[in-house]
Amino acid sequence: SQQGEEDPQALSIQEGENATMNCSYKTSINNLQWYRQNSGRGLVHLILIRSNEREKHSGRLRVTLDTSKKSSSLLITASRAADTASYFCATGLNRDDKIIFGKGTRLHILP
Amino acid sequence: DSGVTQTPKHLITATGQRVTLRCSPRSGDLSVYWYQQSLDQGLQFLIQYYNGEERAKGNILERFSAQQFPDLHSELNLSSLELGDSALYFCASSVDGRVANTIYFGEGSWLTVV
């Protein structure tokens, strides 16, 4: 089964609004990363947050991590049409060096 | 451009056949990962290599095998292909294969089994 599960599976919002995606995971992690995938393309790394960090920012992206709840959220502020993509969380496990991806959230920004 | 190169980009083959997917990691990266992405299963981790040695194994079928060569490029061999093997296969690389580092993805190889 997947280590990370994104929620919601799909999200449609108006351009300019904020988009929030969540990720829950099951086991102890070293870090959690978020990736973006445009349709049929490779995944692009967005941001990495370590298990001892609670929040991290990068441009219009804000990621939070709550290790007690085993969850993370990705906030994209002031969304743009170019943000339309699938977003994946990936967990780096402590017990080995596997990086396991969830099934992703499909984000659609409406003009 | 991530610097990870995958060939071929597209491949159509018949059931029962064998194919080889090739990956060149980013310059300086020692670790290579293979992932399979299908509509119903999401992005599945298959296998990871570090400097020629297998480091971690995921949901890789026995019909599939991989290796990393001394020049660090990697190949994923898929044999006795079934319709369900149709998917997008990604290679990714990282500097040392440690979980704390970012991994960089290629553009993938689209495999269609007919």
Per-residue pLDDT tens digits for B46-95:
999 999 999 989 989 999 999 999 999 999 999 999 999 999 999 999 99
User: With an 8 Å Cβ cutoff, are A31 and B100 in contact?
Assistant: yes
In the block, tokens 């509509």 appear at B39
Chain B nearest C-alpha distance from A1 (Å): 10
3-state secondary structure of A83: helix
CA B44 to chain centre: 10
Chain B nearest C-alpha distance from A107 (Å): 16
Helix or strand holding residue A108 (H, E): strand A105-110
Distance CA A85, CA A75 (A): 14
Could you tell me which chain A residue has the CA closest to the CA of B56? A98
Are A89 and A34 in contact, with CB atoms under 8 Å apart? yes
- The percent of residues in chain A predicted with pLDDT above 90, rounded, is 71
Instruction: Check residue A11 and give its pLDDT.
Output: 95
Confidence of residue A95 (pLDDT cuts 50, 70, 90): low
**Reduced 3-state DSSP string for chain B:** CCCCEEECCEEEECCCCCEEEEEECCCCCCEEEEEEEECCCEEEEEEEEECCEEEEECCCCCCEEEEECCCCCEEEEECCCCHHHCEEEEEEEECCCCCCCCCEECCCEEEEEC
Name the residue facing B99 among A41, A99, A104 (closest C-beta).
A99
Cis, bond preceding B70 (omega within 30 deg of 0):
no
Q: Token digits for B104?
A: 């960089």
Confidence of residue A94 (pLDDT cuts 50, 70, 90): low
Per-residue pLDDT tens digits for A24-63:
998 888 889 999 999 888 999 999 999 999 999 999 999 9
Q: What angle do CA B72, B73, B76 make, to 5 degrees?
A: 130
Task: List, as one string, the DSSP characters of A26-63.
Answer: -S-EEEEEEEEE-TTS-EEEEEEEETT-SEEEETTEEE
Could you tell me which chain A residue has the CA closest to the CA of B106? A42
Confidence of residue A3 (pLDDT cuts 50, 70, 90): low
